[in-house]
Amino acid sequence: MTNEERDIQRKLKVLQHAEKIGNVRKACRYFGIGRSSFYRWRDAYQKHGEAGLKNAKSIPKNLANQTPAEIVEKVLYLRRKYHLGPIRIVWYLARYHGIKISDAGVYRILKRNGLNRLPRGTRMR
């Protein structure tokens, strides 16, 4: 049984226990959950059945202020090809491509792609 199935079974137990004893407050206290969670689970169960009890991510799939893909590609190319650091990448993009991005933004892109550390043995210029 996976963690997801275990969570669904636990939520079903809470819902069934509340139905059996007829008191939501006591059932929530017995299982150590908040009533808002209980009511959210109950509404999802009534609308979608067991599929509604799955844990869903609460974040949007497309972030509004995400760095465009072409800028990310340029940053990664500069790091892989020339082993530039975040500040030099910012300088290069501003000078030759007219792209404004912060060094913290460049660092986050590099870290997200596992390139935040330069390879060992790379000489400083």
Res. 56: pLDDT tops 80: no
Please state, rounded to an integer, the average pLDDT across all residues of the chain: 90
Confirm if 26 and 14 have CB atoms less than 8 A apart: no
- Compute the average pLDDT of residues 37-66: 86
Q: Please report the pLDDT score of residue 118 as a whole number.
A: 79
Distance CA(54)–CA(52), nearest Å, equals 6
Asked whether residue 90 carries a pLDDT value surpassing 70, the answer given is: yes
Query: pLDDT tens digits for 4-37?
Result: 899 999 999 999 999 999 999 999 999 999 999 9
Please, where are the H alpha helices in the chain? 3-21, 24-31, 35-48, 69-82, 86-92, 103-112
Q: What are the extents of the domains in the chain? A: 3-53, 59-125
Could you report how far apart the first and last alpha carbons of the chain are, in Å? Answer: 55
Q: Are 24 and 35 in contact (CB under 8 A)?
A: yes
**What average pLDDT does this structure show over 44-58?**
87
